[in-house]
Amino acid sequence: MNSAPPPDDLPFPDSLCHSCAAAIRYVRNDRGSIFLLCPIFRRYPPQPVLECEKYVPKEKEERPAE
């Protein structure tokens, strides 16, 4: 499997992992399937993750005032 940047078409769009500060890793296998590797739990949690005791939302990027 290879690490990959977030794909354009995210699998499990309802998953909390996408917006988690833990910085989920997107791992694509040779068949093109994408798996979400959690650096906190060090495993692939069953998706979609709808509740997680370790979930912390990413801080939103602040845009400079125009």
Residues that bind ligand SF4 (CB under 6 A): 16-17, 20, 22, 24, 38, 40-41, 45, 49, 52, 54-55
CA separation for the pair 61, 37 (Å, rounded): 23
The least CB distance from residue 65 to ligand SF4, in Å, is 31
CA separation for the pair 43, 41 (Å, rounded): 5
For ligand SF4, the closer CB: 28 or 52: 52
The least CB distance from residue 33 to ligand SF4, in Å, is 18
CA distance between the termini of the chain: 43
Element housing 27 (H / E)? strand 25-28
The least CB distance from residue 66 to ligand SF4, in Å, is 33
